[in-house]
């Protein structure tokens, strides 16, 4: 038999895998195989290849693929000179302009989808995992966000109760979001903190361009509609009951929801809602500090300044866990002095200075105390005049007593709500007149319990409380224990005593790291801790790449944290990532939300994060992703009129 004949028959072997051969060729092939052992080997090889190739599984796309793709398409739309169109399956807030168009698109899409699914052999084949976008329920949680509507800063409310499996694109029924309060005064906000018994803090600029720090007294109105969906409050667990009491279940739609209060110091009035939410499934039985939407126009409210002629410094302002104290830091707008920490309580006319050294910057809350970063005094400064050294203190805002934390050269430590963990920045700080500017460094995560200077007091207080409640009078907590250690996650091996972040050579930003201070070879903070110091983390771990601008936000359970970073302040946007805290099995922490383009403002709830993806043309897109026990999911909530929208759970 000629070589050409062999080649031809081997081609038939391959062709036979794709389609039946004509009878004559099939017979020829079988006859040839019977007499050609080598050809039978080839036949077996082809069959094995066929099986192996078909066994290759799908490769999951990155979570943000649709967000990127959609942004690119929107860019294309904008390039064509038109505005992006809303997705057909998303319930938007401005139905008037687009409802008919949406229906038309939906019909066309529906026809096409039917054709794609049942239109014949060309449409057949297994649908990949991505095809499933059936939403699943997650515990309901209310989200507030500030966006521009009709040129006015407007507070919206959305009830987030479902997401789609990754990569979620648009659930069959996205949640609606409603404008609930319009803020007068032409404020351009850059910072939002929701809490304080119905008080909203905003920082931004007034119409004259001056920085303002203001409080808005929100009306508080629980929605009376019961729901079968589990609901979590702003703290991620049971909704707070101290701020509102259930009111009459139903009211007329014309009844005003909001009674704007001109006095920010007044206790917000609890106002009833106008009845069930118009959107099925979005009602909530949880009292909330976020007002319920009305069927008419949103209420209006005024922002009342609590600081003037100042500019913001440090971490974003934040409410104490019980919502009774707002902490922030600011410095004179004219640069005449450095930063100090201020507090504001309902009833205060103005924010009250907590420090007066002009070197203190608000970092975070650690329970009901305030963590402060402080620049070393001039005579303490290192030989490197351009660089600054820092200390960390924790201040009791009631007594004013402060205690130092053994966390050297950390900047703006952010302590988690359970006080187990701290994320801080370490790098090079530079002085620009009286302001302090991070010039290059990285974020680290470390254990907080062991370095909390108030831990022993709290433990003793807790032990005393238990002892007084115990008939035997025997304390169940030893004085050395931290009170929160009892609900700590599973511990890893016994941690070593003193540890250090050890940036690896070649790490971005390594060149900008501060030189090692005396006594600490690696320039690390010293975490000389007790055995429960760092849980599963025996040394601080890098939590970011090089950055000079960042925001850290913790989940309300303290089990996850979101980090938004950008390499330098000139960048338009940044990157958001959410990780779980370190565990014995995963010291790095699990990546719960992969790095995604995001604007600076984001919010983390108990099991979810919400952020704004910038779109070409200045718009934004509001996304939520969750990582609860039901699995990971995400959902595009809506487009926004401004990529600078501010978010809060």
Partner 1 sequence: MLARSVALRGQADMTRDRATARAVVEELFRLHGGEIYSYLARMVRDDELAADLAQETFVKAYRAFDSLEEPSRARAWLYQIANRTALDELRRRKIVRFVPWTGESRGSARSAEEIALHGRLSAEMERALAAIPERQRGALLLAEVHDLTGLELAAALGVSHVAARALLTRARESLRQALALERARSAERDAAKTARPERAEDDR
CA distances from 150 to 102, 158, 229, 257, 374 (A): 22, 19, 34, 21, 42
What's the token pair of residue 375? 């620049």
Q: Which is nearer to partner 1, 127 or 516 (CB)?
A: 127
Site map (CB under 8 A) of partner 1, residues 133-162, x = contact: x-----------------------------
CB 544 within 8 A of CB 566: no
Least gap, CB of 75 to partner 1 (angstroms): 8
Least gap, CB of 586 to partner 1 (angstroms): 17
CA distances from 326 to 187, 192, 319, 412 (A): 20, 12, 4, 17
Q: Which of 375, 378, 377, 369 is nearest to 391 (CA)?
A: 375
Q: Which is nearer to partner 1, 517 or 573 (CB)?
A: 573
Interacting residue with partner 1 among 113, 172, 377, 465 (CB under 8 A):
113
Interacting residue with partner 1 among 2, 57, 252, 254 (CB under 8 A):
57
Other beta carbons less than 10 A from residue 121's beta carbon: 6
CB 222 within 8 A of CB 292: yes
- The structure tokens 């667990």 sit at 237
Least gap, CB of 104 to partner 1 (angstroms): 7
Q: Which is nearer to partner 1, 24 or 54 (CB)?
A: 54
Using the rule CB under 8 A, is 10 a contact of partner 1?
yes
d(CA 515, CA 428): 9
CB 268 within 8 A of CB 217: yes
Least gap, CB of 410 to partner 1 (angstroms): 33
- DSSP class of residue 579 equals E
Site map (CB under 8 A) of partner 1, residues 72-111, x = contact: xx--xx--x-x-xx-xx------------x--xxx-xx-x
Residue 362 CB-density burial (10 A; 0-12 exposed, 13-18 middle, 19+ buried) = buried
Q: 521-559 burial, b for 16+ CB within 10 Å, e for fewer?
A: eebbbbbebbebbbbbbbbbbbbbebbbbbbbbbbbbbb
User: Which residues 273-332 are close enough to bind partner 1 by CB under 8 A?
Assistant: none
Q: Which is nearer to partner 1, 126 or 473 (CB)?
A: 126
CB 209 within 8 A of CB 303: no
CA distances from 38 to 12, 33, 34, 35, 45 (A): 15, 8, 10, 9, 11
d(CA 64, CA 77): 20
d(CA 70, CA 325): 41
Interacting residue with partner 1 among 97, 127, 172, 309 (CB under 8 A):
127
Using DSSP, state whether 571 is helix, strand or coil. coil
CA distances from 250 to 220, 240, 469 (A): 15, 21, 43
Q: Which is nearer to partner 1, 87 or 193 (CB)?
A: 87
Least gap, CB of 542 to partner 1 (angstroms): 22
d(CA 351, CA 331): 13
Least gap, CB of 60 to partner 1 (angstroms): 6
Least gap, CB of 160 to partner 1 (angstroms): 21
Q: Which is nearer to partner 1, 48 or 516 (CB)?
A: 48
Interacting residue with partner 1 among 5, 68, 94, 569 (CB under 8 A):
68
Q: Which of 137, 276, 158, 302 is nearest to 219 (CA)?
A: 302
d(CA 551, CA 564): 5
User: Which residues 16-35 are close enough to bind partner 1 by CB under 8 A?
Assistant: 17-19
Using the rule CB under 8 A, is 125 a contact of partner 1?
yes
Least gap, CB of 231 to partner 1 (angstroms): 29
d(CA 479, CA 140): 39
- The structure tokens 């168009």 sit at 101
Using the rule CB under 8 A, is 378 a contact of partner 1?
no
Using the rule CB under 8 A, is 38 a contact of partner 1?
no
Least gap, CB of 101 to partner 1 (angstroms): 6
**Region from 53-61, 149-157, 357-365, 593-601 binding partner 1, contact rule CB under 8 A:** 53-61
Using DSSP, state whether 53 is helix, strand or coil. helix
**Region from 50-58, 324-332, 470-478, 497-505 binding partner 1, contact rule CB under 8 A:** 50-58
Interacting residue with partner 1 among 31, 49, 266, 337 (CB under 8 A):
49
Residues in binding contact with partner 1, number by CB under 8 A: 65
Using the rule CB under 8 A, is 545 a contact of partner 1?
no
Interacting residue with partner 1 among 26, 27, 34, 45 (CB under 8 A):
45
What's the token pair of residue 162? 């479902």
User: Which residues 158-177 are close enough to bind partner 1 by CB under 8 A?
Assistant: 167, 169-170
Using the rule CB under 8 A, is 474 a contact of partner 1?
no
Using the rule CB under 8 A, is 66 a contact of partner 1?
yes
Q: Which is nearer to partner 1, 43 or 225 (CB)?
A: 43
Q: Which is nearer to partner 1, 65 or 467 (CB)?
A: 65
Other beta carbons less than 10 A from residue 252's beta carbon: 9
Q: Which is nearer to partner 1, 58 or 469 (CB)?
A: 58
Interface positions with partner 1 (CB under 8 A): 10-11, 14-15, 17-19, 42, 45-46, 49-50, 52-54, 56-62, 65-66, 68-70, 72-73, 76-77, 80, 82, 84-85, 87-88, 101, 104-106, 108-109, 111-113, 115-116, 119-131, 133, 167, 169-170
């Amino acid at each position: 038999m000629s070589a050409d004949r062999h080649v031809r028959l081997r081609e038939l072997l391959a062709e036979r895998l794709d389609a039946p051969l004509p009878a004559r060729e099939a017979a020829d092939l079988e006859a040839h195989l019977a007499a050609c052992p080598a050809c039978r080997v080839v036949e077996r090889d082809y069959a094995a290849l066929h099986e192996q190739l078909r066994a290759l599984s799908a490769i999951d796309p990155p979570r943000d693929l649709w967000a990127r793709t959609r942004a690119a398409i929107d860019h294309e739309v904008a390039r064509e000179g038109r505005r992006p169109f809303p997705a057909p399956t998303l319930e938007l807030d401005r139905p008037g302009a687009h409802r008919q168009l949406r229906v038309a698109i939906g019909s066309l899409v529906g026809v096409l989808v039917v054709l794609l699914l049942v239109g014949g052999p060309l449409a057949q084949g297994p649908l990949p995992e991505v095809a499933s976008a059936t939403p699943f329920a997650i515990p309901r949680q209310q989200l507030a966000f500030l966006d521009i509507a009709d040129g006015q800063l407007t507070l919206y409310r959305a009830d987030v109760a479902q997401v789609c499996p990754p990569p979620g694109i648009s659930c069959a029924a996205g949640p609606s979001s409603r404008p609930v309060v319009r803020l007068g005064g032409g404020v351009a906000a850059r910072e939002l903190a929701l809490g304080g018994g119905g008080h909203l803090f905003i920082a931004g600029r007034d119409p004259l361009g001056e920085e303002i720090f203001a409080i808005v007294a929100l009306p508080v109105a629980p929605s009376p509609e019961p729901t079968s969906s589990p609901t979590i409050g702003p703290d991620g667990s049971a909704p707070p009951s101290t701020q509102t009491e259930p009111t009459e279940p139903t009211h007329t739609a014309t009844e005003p929801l909001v009674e704007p209060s001109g006095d920010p110091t007044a206790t917000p009035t609890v106002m009833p809602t106008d009845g069930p939410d118009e959107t099925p499934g979005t009602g909530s039985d949880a009292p909330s500090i976020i007002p319920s939407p009305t069927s008419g126009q949103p209420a209006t409210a005024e922002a009342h300044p609590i600081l003037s002629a100042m500019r913001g410094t440090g971490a974003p302002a934040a409410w104490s866990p019980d919502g009774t104290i707002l902490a922030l830091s600011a410095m004179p707008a004219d640069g005449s002095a450095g930063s100090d920490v201020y507090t504001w309580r309902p009833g205060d006319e103005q924010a009250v200075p907590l420090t007066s050294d002009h070197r203190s910057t608000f970092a975070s809350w650690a329970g009901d105390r305030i963590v402060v970063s402080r620049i070393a005094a001039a005579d303490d400064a290192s030989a490197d005049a351009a660089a600054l050294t820092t200390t960390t203190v924790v201040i009791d805002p009631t007594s004013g007593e402060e205690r130092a934390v053994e966390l050297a050269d950390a900047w703006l430590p952010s302590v988690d709500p359970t006080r187990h963990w701290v994320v801080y920045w370490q790098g090079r700080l530079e002085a620009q007149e009286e302001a302090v500017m991070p010039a290059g460094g990285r974020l680290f995560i470390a254990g907080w319990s062991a370095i909390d200077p108030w831990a022993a007091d709290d433990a003793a207080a807790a032990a005393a409380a238990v002892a007084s409640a115990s008939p035997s009078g025997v304390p169940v907590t030893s004085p050395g224990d931290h009170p929160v250690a009892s609900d700590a996650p599973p511990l890893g091996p016994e941690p070593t005593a003193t540890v250090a972040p050890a940036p690896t050579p070649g790490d971005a930003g390594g060149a900008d790291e501060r030189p090692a201070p005396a006594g600490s070879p690696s320039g690390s903070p010293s975490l000389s801790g007790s055995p429960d110091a760092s849980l599963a983390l025996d040394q601080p771990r890098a939590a970011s790449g090089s950055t000079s601008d960042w925001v850290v936000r913790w989940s309300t359970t303290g089990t996850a944290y979101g980090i938004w970073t950008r390499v330098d302040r000139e960048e338009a946007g940044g990157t958001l990532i959410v990780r779980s805290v370190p565990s014995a099995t995963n010291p790095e922490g699990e990546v719960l939300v992969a790095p995604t383009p995001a604007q600076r403002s984001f919010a983390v709830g108990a099991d979810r994060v919400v952020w704004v993806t910038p779109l070409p043309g200045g718009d934004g897109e509001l996304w939520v992703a969750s990582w609860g026990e039901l699995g990971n999911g995400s959902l595009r909530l809506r487009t926004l009129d401004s990529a600078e929208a501010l978010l809060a759970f």
